[in-house]
Structure 1
């Protein structure tokens, strides 16, 4: 019957190998070898083979001619490879050692399986049953006999073969015909018997093939005893005469030390001490032997490793917060790896400081020396004293380290530079706890140092809380939620009912005022920032009885500055909600421009003016004193280098407040600019802010910096989104409509794109970066216009626009169903082209652009009769309440998605009762699609895309060219 066998035989140019065969074995006749068994046989019929047979086939397939050729051959054919093996440079260094290791694997499997193995003598053509090999299930052992006498050392080797159920067999190798099948792990054949060894190579057996005993002269005795004999005692069974072998059963002791790994990074090394031997825990040897020569006698101590004890010690380190970074090396478990030797060493020192007592109780000893300097592991004590002084926290801190008391200011340089290494007066190295860098690093970013005290502005009470671990002003440090403020009674005479979130905003405004802070009320458009502000002002100018008197010197008036288009709205809101307050409108060409204007203001409670007038009349207004200075739509003053920003800084007031729906309209610099106006110095200088926050957050996505910035501004910025607080608002449905360009439009677009791409590429090579991006913006803007309608750039164009056809069709359909639509575009010319189409179809509309003279009349016209309102982004992005509309069309994607959100809020705001549908129109396969994708990527940072002047300034050359791909 056909069965699997393994045949050991000599192969041309290779030597001894083993081949699995499918064979037929009969009585009294040669074994019939049918074919080589290969993994292909297993794939075709897996159930035909046992697990041992499949393992043998797969193991031995590795040394088939074909597989050896694949692994080692570089010749053009298998035949050339086999013929060239005798002179092959890899034969002895790689190929034969590989075959040796595979044969040993096969021997081990054969020893424990039912598969028969045969040895084919090269002198015979056939294979017979009598060629079967006997392979015992257990490995043979080498047994060394040593005899030490005054004249020298002699030793012999015996082979011990244990066979289950039988008496062990012991024999020598001399005078036997022995063949080596494997060398690295010796496998020998004596007749038809195989003996294999797990722990000895053929070189140690060869000397005993032709002699029983080996003599070592006394001149070489000491080296031999400490070398060869010690190794034999460690690895093999040894019978000794003339010297002693003792077992050491002492319990090991764990030891920790500070050292550097292969990457020269500080780590904790784990050692174990056994008897008089210390070694790193990564040593895998299970037995160690020490040789001691004393009083003319040799004594060997055999030390067996206690791996259970060692693993328990490793587990204790894991439980105390270490993780492996090498076999015997550890470092603390951290979310973020520290960079730099000193910071990493500080983490290790902090871990040792914290866990030193526990470690010593568990029997660990600790070496505190690192690179020839002792590390101070004393737990530092902090003595922090502070008091409030007008606008400052006056802070005094001292540090106790062992017997030393050190002023905290001595560590200022370390904290600023991020260097934890400080040399104590006794020469030891003290490593600042990593927690100090979190707790104190910001302190020196914003504080002033005067002699031995640290002065921190009161606006930084969140930093003061981290320093002192005490809550300041009832604010809970570190909470990234809107704090709950004490309820404040509403003023008498307020003609409005505040919603719960508006009451909370009103309480927050009072909290800021009572503690002397400025703030930014940044609620979404339409949530009533104006009403919350008016409520606070009404409360300020009321006396205890609740009456509002003429403001003649009791309190300075408050100044509110806003875009010109909103002055009328603010007047109407004051009249509606707080008629008791006297309002002075300081606008218009006929306004009084007198040096005594301040005395006139003092007869009023609130002065309203525009940003343009503030800028033009600052020489008058900077001499006036105001109680509150309020900036509405404060994103108008986001540019710190502008004249209006400079003018705002010169206005004198006790309190400051900004109102905006987009505190970060274009970049993080917007936030700094607006926060600096209400809480000067809160975020440091602009250069510091860019270095510490803008670059790490926008360029490196530094989450730690982002969280730090949030904590800094959180007490002074209140932002609620419509979906969070105005749950009674109807749903906002948004959909993007992709419009195919007409054939004429597409041809025009592709031609322009090709030319622009070539032009920009040349510009990049010839211009400086800022000039390049400005020219690129102009070129890309032209493509945006063509994607809308080529008429925007070429009045001779006679074709149509796919987007415009779809927009007009949708407008006609929606209006016929009785709906009202706001149509926004960032291009006035866009609206003018649409206006002509509406006239052709006899659709009634209103239009608001920057050129509109009678703005309020146009708004009333829409609210009373026109179903369509065409609005340019700049003219109508803010300050409008157009809840009549239940559809919003966005004709083109804008560089700044925050402006898009503002536009939508003209209709989706408090007072809206119907579902609002927003349609964004994008021309397919154009730059508009690329802009939409970039918006999505950039809006993760507070709905911000690019900086204020050029939306391409943060993009690389590759990203700009990608827009044109």
Structure 2
């Protein structure tokens, strides 16, 4: 009878029924495949516990109606079913079918719990009870009960002394006994029992652990079986061990003494092979009576001849996983206390099962095999539950534990600046081959195995320091020529000596670096006013040919230069601008020319010095030499070969040849053919670009002595410094690529403070820098002031319009700075020009007055009226010419100098000897080589992010000879890119002082982030 389709929703129930399966035969191939069981006969057939949905009709009776599992999803509305009950039944059948695949059967009414493989059944039954889904039987008074736990075990008793044994199945649900003969299994996760009376009773419960095959076979069978007295020994010796692994077996009346079960043992087979290798193989060994079975660790397949099946041993005995986990954990603890071995599994069977970690499996070689055999195997042998079987002769591996003893040596090579470096390590009286040691350190190995099977740990502090020092020395040369050390690496040698127990330097090495070592007294810092121990050197007498009185710091500088000359070591004289670097160098040349190396007796030196300087400074060398060292024969080369006096003839009759960087580059072949006493690079920042040809020429010129003169050894980043040292001290640092990896990047990231300290230590003996604030105390003060200029409204509006346009255009290009560099810097230059004068961008803006020029001339009027003289610098000659036009319009006399000026010397002399109050100078043309102490005011019209370039410009007037206070004005247009440039310049100024003066943080070259900051709101 169908339920009504309207009115109150119909409740649902789950009907239980014991059903006997009736398979089809050839004669009977249609019709039902199961029937209801009402009485159980001895030797009964295949019984299953079936369930199907029921609904409550309008009269309150429970009926099947039109319900069917296969049509359940479409019946909710048609039969007006309770929505929650219908959902629960839908989930029930879905979970049942999920692990069984699509359900096909002629019985659309029934599902069988025997086949319900998912343990989610118990959760579903609990949820159904909460929803009010009743569990019913075919009879109205039948009972279905769901318990909380079920268990199946065997009980063994001995009824009499000679009567054998009685095995009884014990089935309990919530500790209440139930007959196993009338029971069945629900998957492997539960049990059910039945009692078929007038009102059938079904009891179900989950098991706490999965049922074994043996346990399931006991269900539906007679409750007890007899073991004849003659078979008792065989049962206890052979069958009991197998059954014990599959289920709980007890003797509740203690009438039978059950033998102790031998737990499985973890077996490690170690095969020692040639070339210091060993093979590891693990398996479990189960002793089941007289049968011993080998079980792989991952139970993926049986071991050879063992008959092992996945998850069970010997066709039914279950593996003791709890014991296996406990033993494996103890082995893992032992392995965790040793280094993780390097396993080579290339020789293992690819079809073999993968051994789960942490047990190493495969082949150990070398040091891994040695340490495993020496330290791990003895502990495994002593471990309960583990047996170690060995095949082959076990080598006598032993660890060398004495403190290593180091000896370092140097051996002279056929290259003047290089020596072979040798390191000898001795441990327990054994000499460790250095090639093996270094290879192990380079690969980050933690142990080293020797050929006699002894081994040592490389995790000792001495090896960590040795590795770092070797890596430093090895980085000095790019080719595989063995380990070498440059004579410029005196500080590196000192560290080797500190580390070693014995040092055996070659005599030539000792002579080569003895001077540098003298420049490294304890406590010397690069920030010292006297430079690298310069004041500690013995001052040689000033040559009589020097017609000047040197200040104390200048005499110290001359002593340092003479010291380098004596030992044929190159260096960088990096004194602040205006402290007399040229004078100190001329004193050195006079000293070297009149006193040859190794002699105290003056004698002519047949080889001249070559001085290379900017074109604008060449004349200054002749002037300074004529003033301070008039006895030196100085010749200036002002034309290329073929257009003037032959270089060979000039060198033969001169003590000093002065040429420009341009001519040096163009005629390098001619310069290389001659023999030079030394190379002097003035304003050496001109060779900071290591890819430029002039740098390569300076580096390749064959001369035993090279000196760089510059007040700015670093203008942008550390590579400037590297470029100079690669010329004057080849071998002090590795190649540009390695220098970037070892120094520049770690320092930029700020992750390795010791790298910065090491860099400063390396350069300390070979660079001398003194600042005016420390050594030229007689100089008058220099007052620097930032002069903020507010743009007039028209000027500001025009600037803001261009700024927004350029910001939108550029920000998307910064991800590839190198590719778009030209476009980016063109936009930056445009904004800088707009900050100065809109008409510099386009003459159509000539009607917009320049706020910067207006502010400048407000200051100049007062300065000129008070008799002051001013230097005015700009990087843009077009802006300087605008200023010149304003000066002419106001009738103010001026001098003008830029790169196009023909007679530079005449213009400079006109200002020095004349009365013009203003000197307009382009920053590039007048930032070096000028002595303009006649002026006492400096105006920097346009700031840039290179602080050293500005400092050089300022020091054209603030230098030795100045007697008045120097006033410096940096004119910055407010609200423009110039303000951002000033902030960036302050950060980049730290780059110079970090290496030369103190430990400030490094800056880097101009980056994409720097440029983004220039366009920030």
TM-score range, shorter chain: 0.5 to 0.7
User: Deviation string for 1:497-538 (max 9, x for gaps)?
Assistant: 111111111111111111121111111110111001100111
Deviation at 1:443, TM superposition (A): 2.3
Q: Does 1:804 align with 2:834?
A: no
Q: 1:542 aligns with which of 583, 589, 594?
A: 594
CA contact (8 A) 1:777 1:952 kept: no
1:818 corresponds to which residue? Answer: 867
Q: Secondary structure at the match of 1:851?
A: coil
Q: After the TM superposition, which of the residue ranges 745-754 and 475-484 deviates more from structure 2?
A: 475-484
Change (3 A) 1:573 1:620: same
Q: How far 1:445 sits from its partner (Å)?
A: 2.0
2:963 to 894, 904, 913: 913
The 3-state SS of whatever aligns with 2:800 is: helix
How far 1:736 sits from its partner (Å)? 0.5
Q: Contact between 1:368 and 1:376, CA under 8 Å: does it hold in 2?
A: no
Give yes or no for contact 1:541–1:605 (8 Å, CA) kept in 2. yes
Alignment match of 2:525 (pick from 477, 480, 483): 480
Determine if contact 1:732/1:917 at 8 Å carries over to the other structure.
Answer: yes
Counterpart Cα distance in 1 of 2:960 and 2:432: 59
How far the C-alpha of 1:421 sits from its partner, in A, is 4.3
Shift of 1:559: 0.7
2:421 to 395, 400, 415: 395
| Matched residue, 1:13 | none
Conserved 8 A contact 2:615-2:661: yes
Structure 2 counterpart of 1:464 = 493
Q: Is 1:781 matched with 2:825?
A: no
Partner residue in 2 for 1:499: 551
Secondary structure at 1:567 match in 2: helix
Match of 2:566 among 510, 514, 528: 514
Give me the whole-angstrom Cα distance separating, in 2, the residues matched to 1:699 and 1:678.
28
- Say if 1:465 and 1:472, in contact at 8 Å, map to a contact too: no
Judge conservation of contact 2:548–2:628 (CA < 8 Å) in 1.
Answer: yes
The CA deviation at 1:419 is 5.2
What CA deviation, in whole Å up to 9, does each residue of 1:282-335 have, x standing for no partner? xxxxxxxxxxxxxxxxxxxxxxxxxxxxxxxxxxxxxxxxxxxxxxxxxxxxxx
Which of 400, 409, 422 aligns to 1:385? It is 409
C-alpha distance in 2 between matches for 1:435 and 1:547? 46
Q: Distance in 2 between matches of 1:877 and 1:369?
A: 72
Instruction: Give distance in 1, aligned partners of 2:618 and 2:772.
Output: 25
Distance 1:964 1:449 in 2: 47
Deviates more, 1:869-878 or 1:397-406: 397-406
Q: For residues 468 and 650 of structure 1, do their structure 2 counterparts lie closer, same or farther at Cα, with a shift above 3 Å needed?
A: same
Are 2:437 and 1:411 aligned?
yes
Partner of 2:639: 588
The normalised TM-score by structure 1 is: 0.58
**In 2 relative to 1, CA 420–794 (structure 1 residues): closer, same or farther, beyond 3 Å?**
farther
Matched ranges for 1:624-703 at <5 A: 624-700=674-750, 702-703=752-753
Mapping for residues 166-177 of structure 1, pairs under 5 Å: none
Per the alignment, in what secondary structure is the counterpart of residue 601 of structure 1?
Answer: helix
Match of 2:819 among 759, 771, 785: 771
Does 437-446 or 681-690 show the bigger shift? 437-446
Q: State the partner residue of 1:574.
A: 625
Confirm or deny: 8 A CA contact 1:415 1:440 kept in the other structure. Answer: no
**Contact in 1 for aligned 2:787/2:970 (Cα 8 Å):** yes
Instruction: State whether residues 666 and 944 of structure 1, in contact with CA within 8 Å, keep that contact through their aligned partners in structure 2.
Output: no
Contact 1:664 1:943 in 2 (8 A): no
Instruction: State the distance in 2 between where 1:751 and 1:953 align.
Output: 29
Provide the residue aligned with 1:442 in structure 2: 472
- On the 8 A contact 1:491/1:546 being kept in 2, the answer is no
CA distance in 2, matches of 1:727, 1:705: 34
Aligned length: 595
Q: Secondary structure at the match of 2:818?
A: helix
Residue aligned with 2:703, SS: strand
- Tell me if the contact between 2:412 and 2:419 (Cα under 8 Å) persists in the aligned partners: yes
Cα deviation 1:406-445 (Å, max 9, x = unaligned): 1334332355456554345424533242333454442222
**Could you tell me which residue of structure 1 aligns to residue 878 of structure 2?**
829
Task: Provide the C-alpha distance between the structure 2 equivalents of 1:652 and 1:917, rounded to a whole number of angstroms.
Answer: 45
Aligned to 1:530: 582
Q: Distance in 1 between matches of 2:438 and 2:539?
A: 41
Instruction: Report the CA distance shift for 1:962/1:557 in structure 2 as closer, same or farther (over 3 A).
Output: closer
Q: What's the secondary structure of 1:510's corresponding residue?
A: helix
Of residues 980, 983, 1006 in structure 2, which corresponds to 1:930? 980
Counterpart CA distance in 1 for 2:412 and 2:701 is 27
Q: Find the aligned partners of 1:620 and 1:571 in 2 and give their Cα distance.
A: 22
Against the structure 1 CA distance between its residues 808 and 590, is the aligned structure 2 distance closer, same or farther, given a 3 Å change threshold?
Answer: farther
1:555 aligned onto 2:616: no
Asked if the contact 2:977–2:1014 (Cα under 8 Å) also holds between the matched residues in 1, the reply is no
Note if contact 1:593-1:620 (Cα within 8 Å) is conserved in structure 2. no
By how many angstroms is 1:376 displaced? 6.0
For residues 512-571 of structure 1, the C-alpha deviation after alignment (integer angstroms, 9 at most, x for no partner) is: 11112111111111011100110011111215999987x6xx421111111111111100
Indicate yes or no: 2:1015 matched with 1:963.
Answer: yes
Segments of 5+ residues of structure 1 without an aligned counterpart are: 1-218, 220-339, 343-366, 946-950
For 1:794, which of 842, 850, 854 is the aligned residue?
Answer: 842
Whole-angstrom CA distance in 2 between matches of 1:875 and 1:813 = 27
| Counterpart Cα distance in 1 of 2:563 and 2:408 | 27
Alpha-carbon distance in 1 for matches of 2:491, 2:641: 47
After superposition, give the CA deviation of every residue in 1:86-112 in whole Å (9 maximum; x if it has no partner): xxxxxxxxxxxxxxxxxxxxxxxxxxx
Shift of 1:388: 5.5
For 2:863 and 2:1004, the matched residues in 1 are separated by 36
| Deviation of 1:640 (Å) | 1.5
Rounded Cα–Cα distance in structure 1 between residues aligned with 2:582 and 2:1005: 34
In the alignment, the residues of structure 1 paired with residue 376 and residue 581 of structure 2 have an alpha-carbon distance, to the nearest angstrom, of 62
Specify the SS of the correspondent of 2:612: strand
Q: Map residues 128-207 of structure 1 onto 2, 5 A cutoff.
A: none
Q: Provide the rounded CA distance (Å) in 1 between the counterparts of 2:557 and 2:1010.
A: 45
1:857 equivalent to 2:906? Answer yes
Alignment of 1:43-82 (within 5 A): none
Structure 2 residue aligned with 1:897, among 929, 934, 947?
947
Task: Note the alpha carbon deviations across 1:916-957, whole angstroms, 9 max, x for none.
Answer: 111111111111111111111222111699xxxxx9974235
Contact 1:732–1:915 (CA under 8 A) maintained in structure 2: yes
Find the aligned partners of 1:465 and 1:402 in 2 and give their Cα distance: 26
1:558–1:606 CA contact under 8 A, matched in 2: yes
- Answer with 425-434 or 640-649: which moved more: 425-434
2-side partners of 1:952 and 1:508: how far apart? 31
Aligned CA distance change for structure 1 residues 388 and 502 (closer, same or farther; 3 Å): farther
Question: Are 2:418 and 2:487, in contact at CA under 8 Å, matched by a contact in 1?
Answer: yes
SS in 2 for 1:657: strand
Note if contact 2:573-2:767 (Cα within 8 Å) is conserved in structure 1. yes
Aligned to 1:845: 894
**Cα deviation code 1:674-707 (max 9, x no counterpart):** 1111122321111111221222223446422222
Query: CA offsets, 1:880-937, max 9 Å, x none?
Result: 0011111111111112111011111101111111111111111111111111111112
- Whole-Å separation in 1 of the counterparts to 2:736 and 2:552: 37
Aligned partners of 1:609, 1:587: CA distance in 2, in Å? 7
State the secondary structure of the residue aligned to 1:680: coil
Q: CA deviation at 1:654?
A: 2.2
Question: How many Å separate the matches in 2 of 1:824 and 1:624?
Answer: 40
